[in-house]
Chains A and B, each alone.
Chain A
């Protein structure tokens, strides 16, 4: 299998796992509210399913990185390192803003997840422009 085909296959696999994880997150979040209304066993099972699919998604991402060529690895790993560092800094600052009542609302984890996703995309675009 050549590099392009392997990359396409790994990307498809990663996309499927990511989609499955997103759907299982929605199921775990909204299922207990609208589908089985507070049934703790089903809620626990949906969370278990969500974590299991999440692990699959992480492994698919690792496989994608392992099979990527060295420049793609560098681009991805730099973007990940920047995202991880900035998420830590922004997350702690956001938490302090909440605990000191500098912001009138509660600090939500979803804000951090959105920040991570957006920043990772920006870092990828920046790195691709830099190297490619």
Chain B
């Protein structure tokens, strides 16, 4: 799944560690999502959308995940 997480995070000037702490996951999870190696769960995606005050579709666009 493609995503704009890195861009949104950069706009807020957050590190991966900052975002991970806000969402309640590990920094490695944020890194794997940004590199599109891992698709987050629905609750995590909702927490991200709430945090960035946008819709889930504004962060994630459906497509094949890199492996």
Contact = CB atoms under 8 A, between A and B. Distances in A.
Contacts of A74: 38
Contacts of B26: 3-4, 7, 69, 71-72
Nearest to B37: A131
Contacts, number: 35
A69 B24 CA distance: 8
How many interface residues does chain A have, given as a range? 10 to 19
Interface in B20-35: 20-21, 24-26, 28-29, 31-32
Interface of B: 20-21, 24-26, 28-29, 31-32, 37-38, 40-41, 44, 67
Interface of A: 2-4, 7, 69-72, 74, 130-132
